[in-house]
Chain A
Amino acid sequence: MAHVRRSRPAADTLGRRRALSVPITAGPLVRSLTERLGEDVEHLWTDEDTVEFQIDATRVIDVMTVLRDDPELAFFMLADAAGVDYGPTEHLEVVYHLYSWKHPAWLRVRARVNRADPRIASVTRLWEGAMFHEREMYDMMGIIFVGNRDLRRIYMSPDYRSFPQRKDFRLPDDAADSPAAGVNPLERPETWDLARFRDAPGVRTPALEAEDRATTAGELDGGGA
């Protein structure tokens, strides 16, 4: 307890990050990855504790299967899966973070998704736990994961028709001015009027609109509208 005392700043200990907290050698990992997945992966960045690769979004299942099952790679854990929006004129991106016992670095795998038709294969067959990650990305970003058996909204209510974490969803000072035509109508039966959302100027994709037409056709058109 005697060492815990107030002390004055010493200027010489301040400074830029010089020593790596986790000294790693990313070379073997990069080499073995490019050996196994030569054409599929593109090495982008090696940080002090992160190795970053870009992959083709159509090959995500193949790449992830190799990463998980190859005994030398053995990335057994899906640490994180996140969606990133690069703006209305750019693309979406799905970012996976993986961990392996054999390599003391986080592996970051980035996959671009077309914004007009945001589809990518689901990895729930490899990791069951990707389910909530993908549902969250669908809810917040509108990315559709093909092969996910339970791709419905997870945070917002089922009748919500916008994707809040896209960049063209502006955060207003008052939620009533939101481009999503207001927020969740409080889960009250009398406010479950789907027609209210039909003309909402939210973020829509052709694929989503087709799905909406299929699901809500009976209620909107047949319901005496």
Chain B
Amino acid sequence: MTTVDPDIRIPDPIELDAAEEARLRAAAGMMPSPAGPEYSGFEMVGIPDRPPQTEREREMYTLNEGEMLINLGPQHPSTHGVLRLVAKVRGEVIVDMDLVLGYLHRGIEKLSEYATYTAVLTYVDPMDYLSTMHNEHAPAIAFEKLYDIKAPPRAEYIRALVVELNRVFSHDLMMGFLALDMGGLTPILYSFIERDEVVELLSAISGQRMLFNFFRVGGVNWDVSDEFISRLSTWRSKVDKLIEMNEWMISENEIFTGRTKGLGVLSAERAISLGLTGPNLRASGVPFDVRKAHPYSIYHELEFDVITQQAGDSYARYMQRVAEIKQSIHLIDQIVDKMPHGPVQAQVPGIIRPKPGRRAYGAVESPRGLYSVYALSDGGPNPYRFRMRDPSFISLQAMPVMMPGLLLADTMAVISSLDPVMGGVDK
């Protein structure tokens, strides 16, 4: 324990006397500093200056004395894709933060209006590319409501099985990425071993490795295959050890806990107001889980509890994921035990034309939270309007709320604990 001498005080450049600064500026041959706050626009971060469009933008990009803008992204290794953050800092302390999105906006909602209902299930695949099965689950639920058809029980069990498998590897990758953003390279290697095994497992049932395209309106594409069963039992026999090993490397690590505990704290009320869902919300103590709150598929037949954490910081969000991995493995056991026989696909025509004017809302619990779909039919073969609510898009709004007061280097830890996927954020 080192003792800090209270008399020694490192002078902060922000607190320099204005007269002293003027003297220094004059000595250096610089212009005198502007008297008041100055709107810097985007000039500082590499984009042409333009007048502010909104009140909030003026507030964000107006710099007071001693403040500066720092741009992160859109190409930055730690922003999980093509997210761009503009941080307003005083020294190393973040004052405000702005998110610039849209670098991966592919127009999936618009393209879906030009595709048949079955083809829409392929368009949503690359959206949240770490939870592809969940991306297909919500539209499948919504289209089944729209067309007034029900998937057979075995199909519902297979759906639940694959989405829980998907949740395992998605959360597992989050553990690795979070450690990677703090400089630990090893956990991501273990995470990818685990991820590759699950992805190969799911490709044995769906035929495609990453964007599975497994769900159909009224069922699933294939019944489980022998290769899938053998791989599943092999995977199940060793998954606990793999997860434990990864957790053992990360959870008690002193650097890791020092950079996550107490950082990025969100209270329950604030998290609800911000629209956070999923593990991020449950880490703040709100027991909202769509699987329990509004059971879909077969989740009302399974036994599980909603796990919550109380701290609401980055470490709680991490521990929430670890607990949910184990919960998902527990659910997989139950699903496999209870799986009935029967068909996997209801009889639906090749081109589905629901009745005009029908609306349907399908929501699932994706690894990042409430993922929902709102579909509207006009009687044609294509949805008239297809709307997706992606959880990571909404949960990114917590960044400007959590970051003020933290150091610039904490940005990585906090954003990684929210676990956004930019494919889903930008649609």
Contact = CB atoms under 8 A, between A and B. Distances in A.
Interface size class of A (residues with CB under 8 A): 35 or more
Interface string B37-53: 00000000001101101
Contacts of B111: 171
Contacts of B427: 155
11 contacts: A10-B343, A13-B152, A79-B370, A79-B372, A128-B274, A129-B273, A129-B274, A133-B275, A150-B54, A153-B102, A189-B47
Q: Is the interface of B mostly helix, strand, loop or mixed?
A: mixed
Contact of B145 (A48, A76, A97, A192): A48
Contacts of B144: 17
A169 to B, nearest CB: 8
Given A95-B374, A129-B397, A9 B343 contact: yes
Contact of B342 (A7, A78, A132, A152): A7
A157 B148 CA distance: 40
B372 A77 contact: no
Given A129-B397, A150-B57, A155-B102, A140 B109 contact: yes
B56 A149 contact: yes
Contacts of B394: 129, 132-133
Interface of A: 1, 3-10, 13-18, 21-22, 45, 47-50, 52, 76-80, 82, 84-85, 95, 97, 99, 101, 104, 106, 108, 127-133, 140, 149-158, 164-165, 169, 171, 187, 189, 192, 215, 218
Q: Is the interface of A mostly helix, strand, loop or mixed?
A: loop
Contacts, number: 174
B353 interface: no
Contact of B148 (A17, A131, A158, A164): A17
Interface of B: 47-48, 50-51, 53-57, 101-102, 105, 107, 109-111, 113-114, 144-145, 148-150, 152-154, 223-226, 229, 232-233, 270, 272-277, 288, 293-297, 300, 336-347, 359-361, 363, 370, 372, 374, 376, 385, 387, 389, 393-394, 396-397, 401, 426-427
Given A3-B337, A129-B276, A164 B110 contact: yes
Nearest to A214: B51
Given A1-B336, A99-B294, A192-B48, A150 B342 contact: no
A197 to B, nearest CB: 13
- The 6 closest A-B CB pairs, nearest first, are A129-B275, A9-B343, A150-B56, A17-B150, A155-B102, A7-B341
